[in-house]
Structure 1
Amino acid sequence: MGAGYRQQSLWDEPPAEDDFMVKEDVANLQAAFERRVLQGLAAEWENALWLLPDPLRRCLRKPLFSINGTARRLGSWTPYKREIALSRDLVNNGRWDDVREVLLHEMAHQVAHEGLKAKKEPDHGPSFKKACQLLRADPAASGTHRPLHERLRRGEKLDAKDRIVARIQKLMALAESANPNEAHAAMSKAHELISRHNVDLIDRGVKQHYVSIFLGTPRLRHFREGYHLAHLLQDFYFVQCMWVEAWALEKGRMGRVLEISGSDKNVRIAEYVHTAVRRYIDTAWADYRRGKGLNRYRKTDFAVGVIEGFRSTLKKASGFDAESSLLPARLEDPALQRYIAHRYPHVRTFSRQGPGHDARILADGNEKGRKLVIAKGISHEDGFREKVLEYKQ
């Protein structure tokens, strides 16, 4: 027999027809998903185009978009094809703001090449850097560069002497404590550390690295609790919140998503708090609504109550309700404000009248939210052995 040929035995089972159908279904779903991604890349490109000055914007034409199988590069711009290609691994496994970050990087190459006529410059030369600044793009977001969320999860190496930052980052947990007094004491300590550290950095003018990430996924519609939670993060966690346009992949249209900006450490903390509060609301609501036949709008009432109840606890922990507080006064960060002004050159405010709410459910949620505390664990190595606290998950 020739090499590579295998005679089928009578004992071999022929491939099942169902197997072919499953593979075909998977292939069709993947193709549909990638078509939706390509539509999103085109929409995000058109949206980013308005960040450019008018003469530069008019000389650019929409490129081709593609998804390739290479895992070595997140994206590429090919001038002779006029094509922006993104890695299939990135679009399959990355978050949409990571995908958009790479798209803007490759768009900056296009702007440098076609708009600024930088054909004889290095790939990452002066024109490319100028294009990145105009597009608010990360100059490093390509090649083997790790997406922002992965970099944030890995964290940065901390100076062993920076004990305040080390304590803040060791453990932050949102939970219902078995001992409310201990839980509130721990939360007060956490906010004292966070507040003092940030105020000290701002007061001394220490240069910080600012980042922006999406919280959640872009959607056409957001419920009222999302806005309440955004205000809470901005008021207590040293981040700035903006609702920005982004491609809602499931709906195939541009929607909106909450984006937070701040130092990488504060963004990590705020992202964790956002996720934990959302999870707490879902769990508490599942218990509360059992057997009551309540609809989605009543969940919004309950969730807003939880968030505002939690806010009242944070106010006490931060000394907002006290006539004299040991915490330093909250300072605006001028460097963060400059970052925000550059990143969001066109900002508009809006308000909407929400539907009526159920006062009883709102009050029940508020009571539940007051039991939710943010706790700062302190390890033995910090020299506070007597203050080590444990919390139920």
Structure 2
Amino acid sequence: MVSLHETLHRPWLTELLRSWHEFNKRHLGGALRPPVLQIDLSTARLGHWQRDTRTLSLAHDHLLSHRWDDVLDTLKHEMAHQYVDEVLGGDVRPHGPQFARACALLEIRPDATGSPRASDDPAARVLKRVQKLLALATSANRHEAEAAMAAANTLLLRYNLDLPQDGPPRDYEARRLGDSAAAIALEAKLISSILSEFFFVECIWVTTYNARRLRHERVLEVLGTAENLEMAAYVHDFLHASTKRLWEQAKKDMDLPANRRREFSAGLLTGFRDKLRGERQRNEEQGLVWLGDADLDRYLRSRHPYIRSMGSAAVHRGRAHAAGRAAGEGLTLHKPVREHQSRGLSLPRGRDD
């Protein structure tokens, strides 16, 4: 009889081996030989590279419980150790300069937990000011709340416009938001469109692996500076939560059938988008015109050279859509963003120590 572990481990190992070959070719020029891949039932560490037996192990619980992009970062981490041992001649320190060099090639951070952002960082100060403005948007007075949100948006616009256009390239990062799914909901597509249009990031739907369901799914990846990613992550979660909350309220107040949620959500997000477009037009009248970020576009295309556009779907525009649109036009971002504590992905301790 095949055990549950064997049922899961076989497809996991197939997927991990495919990713190993992809990373080896893309980042390391095919310099590595395939290791023995193993799923470790121990929970003491996320992953481990054993030089003597050429075994690269990942923890069963890690694959089962964490996002697949976290699992792939752990795989890259152990590949960096393999590269140090088999290509760079080893290193007396497990996370020494040779390891840092391998991590740079694999485009991951050599440290496991990240480092705090200095409190006097100009970008950190901008986020704190945005946080205070959005806190003011909790005002019961709709005009005061909308003025606070508009001021926060203008502050972010000014910050991005003031960044130097020449000199060294900006430090861009990528972050995945929300849960993966086999099919992308219209609500999720509209929210990603709002992020890319108004919050100084690029959005792309990428393929990931669902280790529990043993299938490939799609997930939203957002690219930009650390500060803009922090704001985009907040707006993403805020809009999803607000859509759910306002739908439940409208369904009850207007006796809307459950199958009208898609229509209501489309109206709400369209209304909120048009509200932001109105704010952008007022900023343009003041001479604050955003022309895009060519460096970010190049970063997107270097990370994802093969990009396909995604088609849109028609939505019925009935009573539910009108109700959603009205709710969206009155929606304000009214909770403070959390202060940014680290750059890059922070993973649990004990990866291979």
Measured at CA, do residues 360 and 108 of structure 1 come closer, stay the same or move farther in structure 2, by a change above 3 Å? farther
2:232 partner letter: A
The answer on 1:236 being equivalent to 2:198 is yes
Task: Specify the alignment match of 1:312 in structure 2.
Answer: 274
Specify every segment of 5 or more residues in structure 2 that has no aligned partner in the other structure, as ranges. Answer: 337-353
Of 120, 124, 128, the match for 1:159: 120
Q: Deviations over 1:276-326 (max 9, x none)?
A: 11001111111222343322xx322211211111111112222x2x49522
Is 1:361 the counterpart of 2:333? The answer is: no
Residue 267 of structure 1 pairs with residue 267 of structure 2: no
Change (3 A) 1:110 1:160: closer
Aligned match of 2:155: 193
- Aligned equivalents of 1:168 and 1:33: distance in 2? 48
Alpha-carbon separation, structure 2, partners of 1:105 and 1:181: 50
| Distance in 1 of aligned mates of 2:5 and 2:293 | 41
Answer with 284-293 or 166-175: which moved more.
Answer: 166-175
* 2:110 alignment partner, one of 119, 135, 140: 140
The equivalent of 2:52 in structure 1 is 80
1:59-83 CA deviation, whole Å, 9 max, x = no partner? 7436313235454x54322233333
What's 2:349 paired with?
A: none
TM-score for the superposition, normalised by structure 2: 0.77
Contact 1:67 1:88 in 2 (8 A): yes
Letter of the structure 2 residue corresponding to residue 352 of structure 1: G
Instruction: Between the two structures, name the one with larger relative contact order (CA 8 Å, sep ≥ 6).
Output: 2
Matched to 2:48, the amino acid is S
- Tell me the residue number matched to 1:336: 296
| Partner Cα distance (2:16, 2:33) in 1 | 15
The one-letter code of the counterpart of 1:219 is A
Q: Is the 8 A contact 1:43 1:254 kept in 2?
A: no
Task: Give the conservation status (yes or no) of the 8 Å contact 1:308–1:369.
Answer: yes
Aligned equivalents of 2:101, 2:133: Cα separation in 1: 40
Amino acid aligned to 1:231: S
- CA shift digits 1:93-116 (9 cap, x unpaired): 644432322222223434565xxx
Please state how far the C-alpha of 1:124 moved relative to its aligned partner: 5.9
Decide which of 170, 179, 182 is 1:220's aligned counterpart.
Answer: 182
Shift in Å at residue 91 of structure 1? 4.8
Asked whether the 8 Å contact 1:228–1:307 carries over to 2, the reply is yes
Query: Quick one: which amino acid aligns to residue 156 of structure 1?
Result: R
Look up the equivalent residue of 1:179 and give its one-letter code.
N
Pairing of 1:20-59 with structure 2 (within 5 A): 36=8, 39-40=11-12, 42-47=14-19, 49-51=21-23, 52=25, 56-57=29-30
Instruction: Compare CA radii of gyration and give the structure with the larger one.
Output: 1
- State the one-letter code of the partner of 2:158: R
CA separation of 1:248/1:176 partners in 2, compared to 1, >3 Å: closer, same or farther?
Answer: farther
Number of residues of Structure 1 aligned to a counterpart in Structure 2: 328
SS at match of 2:118: coil
Cα distance in 2 for partners of 1:265, 1:301 equals 33
Match of 1:120 among 89, 92, 99: 89
Q: Alignment partner for residue 256 of structure 2, among 292, 295, 312?
A: 292
1:15-68 deviation digits (Å, cap 9, x = unpaired): xxxxxxxxxxxxxxxx95896477446425414633525995597436313235
Change (3 A) 1:358 1:55: same
How far apart, in 2, do the equivalents of 1:213 and 1:171 lie? 25
How far residue 348 of structure 1 moved from its aligned partner, in angstroms, is 2.2
- 1:301/1:174 CA distance change after superposition, 3 Å: farther
Letter in 2 for 1:138: I
Within 5 Å, which residues of 2 pair with 1:174-185? 177-185=139-147
Superposition deviation, residue 160 in structure 1: 7.4
Change (3 A) 1:62 1:360: farther
* Change in 2 beyond 3 A, CA 1:224/1:173: farther
Contact persistence 2:49–2:78 (CA under 8 A): yes
Task: For residue 310 of structure 2, give the secondary structure of its aligned residue in structure 1.
Answer: coil
Gap runs ≥5 in structure 1:
1-30, 378-393
Query: What is the Cα deviation at residue 210 of structure 1?
Result: 2.5
C-alpha distance in structure 1 between counterparts of 2:149 and 2:131, whole Å: 14
TM-score for the superposition, normalised by structure 1: 0.70
Distance 1:49 1:353, change over 3 A: same
Q: How much has 1:369 moved relative to structure 2?
A: 0.6
Two-structure CA RMSD over aligned residues (Å): 3.6
- Match of residue 36, structure 2, among 63, 67, 71: 63
Q: Secondary structure at the match of 2:243?
A: helix
Rounded to whole Å, the distance in 1 between the matches of 2:287 and 2:272 is 19
The letter of the residue matching 1:372 is: L
Note if 1:326 corresponds to 2:286: yes
